[in-house]
Structure 1
Amino acid sequence: MKKPLLFFIATIVCFTIYCCSEIPENNDPILGIWAKTTTSESGVDSKQEWIFNDAYKGRYHSYTNDNVAFLTDFRWTIEGDTYTITYPETNMPSDQVKIKTTQINNSTEKTSENTSATVILEETNGETLAIRE
């Protein structure tokens, strides 16, 4: 009598542990790669890239003329519709951004056929931090 009861309890415990250890899926719209590219007056190209993953962490890269100039990990949190990006173990300031969709005109003619939606990370001061790649 004791062996079947022990087997039944062990089965229930294993089933409970298996079902409770499931990681919830994160479908946050910030997940993915975001970038900002600039060219200085001297012709030096620079690119900043943020790679957001679903564990509330990510990787930041800074490139100069296609060479990695700086890289670090970051953490991100969300409160309402505002995301806060922090860069631990660096002296980089935190970024607070919101996801916005903007319309960009792809030609000189003003027709709706030539506009496309671009998703951006907009800082709280209204400047664009990055564009979704």
Structure 2
Amino acid sequence: MTKKFLSLLAICAIVFLANCSRIEENNDPIIGLWSQSELIVTENSSKQTIRKEWIFNDVYLGRYQEMDGTTIVLKTDFNWSKQDDIYTVEYKGLDGKPNNVITIKATDEGSYLQKKDGATLAIRE
């Protein structure tokens, strides 16, 4: 009798734990790759492209990186959160980089991230 009871208890525990481990699906529109590119012309008329990328994932984390041409010059992780339609991006390990407070704006050409001051942070790729 004791073995049957323990077996039943073990099965119940497995079923209970299996049901608790389901992760809620996150389909937030910010998930994906957003970028900003800037062409810089130096004093000797050479051109260089600086590209910034934000990669948002579905567990409120992401990766930020800056590239000079094809060379990654800065890479860090970030946390993101959403309250109403306002997103906050908090960078890890970058003491001088302030948080971004942004919203998603849609146009006929596509979507972009807009900062509090109205400037464009990045466009969706």
Q: Provide the C-alpha distance between the structure 2 equivalents of 1:74 and 1:14, rounded to a whole number of angstroms.
A: 35
Q: Deviation per CA, 1:106-132, whole angstroms, max 9, x where unpaired?
A: xxxxxxxxxxx3110111111110001
Tell me if structure 2 keeps the 8 A contact 1:35–1:50: yes
5 Å-filtered alignment, 1:68-79, equals 68-79=72-83
| Higher alpha-carbon deviation: 92-101 or 1-10 | 1-10
Root mean square deviation of aligned Cα? 1.1
- Identify which of 96, 100, 104 aligns with 2:105: 100
- Identify which of 60, 65, 70 aligns with 1:66: 70
Normalised by the size of structure 1, how large is the TM-score? 0.85
* Identical positions, percent: 38
Where structure 1 has 5 or more consecutive residues not aligned to the other structure, the ranges are 104-116
Q: Provide the C-alpha distance between the structure 1 equivalents of 2:36 and 2:93, rounded to a whole number of angstroms.
A: 23
Tell me if structure 2 keeps the 8 A contact 1:46–1:66: no
Q: CA deviation at 1:5?
A: 1.7
- Number of aligned positions between the proteins: 120
Asked whether 1:44 is paired with 2:36, we answer no
